[in-house]
Amino acid sequence: MSPLNLIKTNKAAIRQGLKDGLPIGFGYFAVAFSLGVTAKNAGLSAFQGFLASVLCSASAGEYVAFTLIAANASYIEVALATFVANARYMLMSCALSQKASPDMPYIHRPLSAIYITDELFGISIARKGFFDPFYHYGASLTAVPLWAIGTALGVIAGNILPLSVVSALSVALYGMFMAVFIPPAKKDKIIACLVVISFALSYIASILPVISEIAEGTRTIILTVIIAGAAALLFPRKEEEEEESNG
């Protein structure tokens, strides 16, 4: 591909990413209000809440960090707890790396890994063909700033808004995430069954006496490895299917 065509292709990918990331950003914006309330209760300013969301775009990780900050925990405790809560994103990074083209410059790997959230991972992994870092950049450029701005505004006005309003707005985020896996589940019965099994096991793990005491992020990692590993062994994808998915 000529340099001119490559630039046009990358620009098109960025524009599509900006478009697809916008509804995710609006969902983030709504959810971030409640997170901003937690940050305010921990004594953070609006700028500190904004900066935290820019550097750590993860609701669970930030919530854990803000809670520990409010409890006057040490830096090491906050860092370790945040690492555990966000460890599942390493699995998502590994999954995306498997879709990377051999010709993709290495610099895109660490740059793309900075903002891998559940929803951004979902729309990036669902695209046919190789992983496109420019599409991911475009989606991040709309989703992450709205997440950070929502956190800052939550610090300022989160306590003013009724909790029922914040909870109602946050439902949109889960609706968008469901829109990521429902289409492939409708096309593939195995994926549909795995989705149902994942929901069931996740709920069971949250109520079992011993397992429920494990951090949510750690439980997610364990379940992901077990379910994905079992699916790979029981329902391996044929080489032809892999080639078709990669375009």
**What residues does each domain of the chain span?**
3-182, 188-247
- Residue 131: predicted pLDDT: 92
In this prediction the pTM is: 0.70
For the stretch 82-139, pLDDT in tens is 887 788 888 889 888 889 988 899 999 999 988 998 889 989 988 888 999 999 999 9
For the stretch 164-185, pLDDT in tens is 666 665 565 566 567 667 877 8
- Residue 173: predicted pLDDT: 53
d(CA 120, CA 180): 10
User: Which residue bears the tokens 């929502």?
Assistant: 150
User: Which residue bears the tokens 């992983």?
Assistant: 131
More confident residue, 28 or 160: 28
Q: Per-residue DSSP letters for 199-241?
A: HHHHHHHHHSTTGGGS-HHHHHHHHHHHHHHHHHHHSPPPHHH
Q: 87 CB contacts (<8 Å, ≥6 apart)? A: 217, 218, 221
